[in-house]
Amino acid sequence: MTSDQPPEGGYRPDVDGLRAIAVVAVVLYHVSKSLLPGGFLGVDVFFVISGFLITRNIVLDVDRGRFSIREFYRRRIKRIAPAMLLIVGVTLVASQLLQLPEDAHDTARSSVFSIFSLSNVYFWRYLDSGYFAASSAQVPLLHLWSLGVEEQFYLFWPTTLLLLYRPTSSKLRLAIILVGVAAVSFALGEFSYPKDPSFAYYMLPTRAGELLLGAISALVLLHQGTRRWPARLALALSTTGMVVLGVSLAAISESQPFPGWRAAVPTAATTLVILAGHGQGHVWSRLLSSKGAVWTGLVSYSAYLWHWPLLALYRYGYGEPGPVPGATMGILTFLLAWLSYRYVEQPARRSKASLPRVVTRQFLLPAGALFTLAMVMMYGPRLGIPLHSGRYQAQLSAARNATRPAYDVDWACQRQLVTSADLSDPLCIVGPASKDPPTVLVWGDSHAAHYLGVLRAFANGAGFRFRNVEVGSCPPLLVDPAPFVEARRLADCRASLAVIQNAVEQYPVVILSSASLNYGPDYLGGFRGTVSHLAAEGKIVVILGEVPGVPGYDRRCREKGLTYPFLTCPHIALPLSARVADNNQALRAMAEGIPGARYFDANTYLCPAGLCTAYWPSGEPIYYDETHLSLEASLRLGQEILSREGVPPPFKFPRPPGAPRN
């Protein structure tokens, strides 16, 4: 992505054309994945090009007896640091002005890792991919992971190459050895993906094969020397490479495991194009060497650096860009790329300063300033440094209180792992004050937790008390949950369900709720077995239906509107989806077919006049996210139902002996 072309007589304009393909593919993909599903492979093309050019430069200098580690890193710093640090600085300032405090903090933290060439490590270890996490497409410096991979490659590759290669060595033999090493890297990506997809995607060991393919092509061409390939062979190789690369960009998608062997396909295709362009003037070489392609390739590094923060910060506030904003972001990307190429990249690369001065002026001083700014953004508020006005903080607090999740209060006992202590915790009991133990158990996942405000209102209205226990992403079942939950949650689910199943017998009433649409088509069968078993033991079982989903809803929209200009929060109103309606009808029929089972949902209140909305008529938000009610809305919904119709029949339970009457 950032490698210099060979300095003496070895300039390959077609390689800049390949860079153009790579950066255009990446930009198109990030503007809209529908434009080019495999556009993310442009990064892999960059890796091959970098491996090719870096290796070719080192080997040429070694052959001429003038290779210098100091000069190598002096050129790397001039090439990489100034533009990268500029983008980090601009992004830091923009994030402080636009992002919410916690997100600006995360951006600052990722910038520190980026400065020290560890951005890929940061995103491997710390990028939040949890259930409630925001989209990674809104993380402004995420794209610097690839630069981290390259910079780490530059740290070890010159020394490694010097150990493996001498001017008298066989370049072809070394290339063959590297083929084996590259294959190991691709295999590592393939086998590590199921266990740790983030490691596979972001880390150098699984990406090194792509850079090594470029190194292999450099060694092969240096072995070839001035000898040209036969014209037909060159055309066949380049045509094969371009066709395979084009098919890969169109056919490979992010939904498939990647990298691994899939990464070998487009990178091998890129390698073929590089090999075929050696001293040739075939049609593909001429197209890649055209003025427009070369210009785009020359500014590709800056374009790559600029495009992602522009799109991420746009998405963060305004959502997915439509055609006009997307085109605007694309044009702005290349305008800024040209400016930074001309006024930052080129002046820095022309510097004749020594390594100490280059390190000081082009890296240490600007990096130190950015590090200080990042530290202030991260820790300033703790040290009493006000980064926001008191008015902003008050407005932010009010907006957040309206969209608090159900688990934000101590009486909502949603856990990732339930222990026996949770089944005896007095804070988990809701309802009128009493010394008697609760007679009702509320059990489910987060879709049970977001009903707690409603159930609290019903409990106070009807005079019953309930204990609640919810397990994130784990359905309420009396059978093994393995067919229905993700592998990473299975151990916690099994342990939690074992604890709950041992305690459920003491409750004459059990209220069950789950995100049944998330657990696969066979889930309702297992759920029916649980309901039937509990009902057969003489328990009253109340099934709570799914609430409507509101696609496109952003609970933080009003918070972001405090800083984003012209940001409006659309009052989304959609008909109840057929999936939710059909699922709830199946749950209702299940309850009607099992003696002792009951059914309830509040969708007539959430979808007045048949339209489901994310906001109350008065403007307050109803949802925490697209599928979960907020705590405040759940409480309000329960009170509204009570005021209109009293306690709904499914929640009128027989009073236990000695229970007080209201």
Q: Is the pLDDT at 661 greater than 90, yes or no?
A: no
Tokens of 557: 């929209």
| Burial of 83 (C-beta count, 10 Å sphere; 0-12/13-18/19+) | buried
Distance CA 210, CA 576 (A): 47
Distance of CA 35 to the CA centre of its chain: 20
Antiparallel, parallel or unpaired: β 466-471 and 429-430: antiparallel
**pLDDT value at residue 4:** 57
For 504-530, write each residue's pLDDT tens digit. Answer: 999 999 999 999 999 999 999 999 999
For 35-94, write each residue's pLDDT tens digit. Answer: 999 999 999 999 999 999 999 999 999 999 999 999 999 999 999 999 999 999 999 999
85 within 8 A of 370, measured Cβ to Cβ: yes
For 244-286, write each residue's pLDDT tens digit. Answer: 999 999 999 988 999 999 999 999 999 999 999 987 788 999 9
Q: Which residues of 138-155 are buried (b: 16+ CB within 10 A; e: fewer)?
A: bbbbbbbbbbbbbbbbbe
Tokens of 225: 């020397």
- CA dihedral (229, 232, 234, 236) in degrees, to 10, reads -150
For 370-393, write each residue's pLDDT tens digit. Answer: 999 999 999 998 888 889 999 999
What does each C-alpha distance from 589 to 490, 570, 582, 583, 586 come to in angstroms? 29, 35, 11, 10, 5
**Largest distance between two CA atoms of the chain:** 100
DSSP 75-129: HHHHHHHHHHHHHHHHHHHHHHHHS-HHHHHHHHHHHHHHHTT-HHHHHHHH---
Tokens of 95: 């994030």
User: H helices within 277-320, ranges in order?
Assistant: 283-288, 291-298, 300-318
185 within 8 A of 111, measured Cβ to Cβ: no
Q: Is the pLDDT at 232 greater than 70, yes or no?
A: yes
Task: Please calculate the CA angle 164-166-172 and round it to the nearest 5 degrees.
Answer: 70
Q: Is the pLDDT at 659 greater than 50, yes or no?
A: no
For 541-580, write each residue's pLDDT tens digit. Answer: 999 999 999 988 888 999 999 999 999 887 878 899 999 9
**pLDDT value at residue 571:** 80
Distance CA 116, CA 486 (A): 35
Three-state SS at 143: helix
Output Rg (C-alpha) for the chain, integer angstroms: 30
Q: How confident is the model at residue 658 (pLDDT cuts 50, 70, 90)?
A: very low
Q: Is the pLDDT at 8 greater than 50, yes or no?
A: no
What does each C-alpha distance from 570 to 553, 555, 566, 604, 609 come to in angstroms? 8, 11, 12, 21, 19
Tokens of 620: 């307050």
76 within 8 A of 50, measured Cβ to Cβ: no
Q: Is the pLDDT at 3 greater than 70, yes or no?
A: no
Beta-carbon contacts of 393 under 8 Å, excluding residues fewer than 6 positions away, are none
**pLDDT value at residue 7:** 39
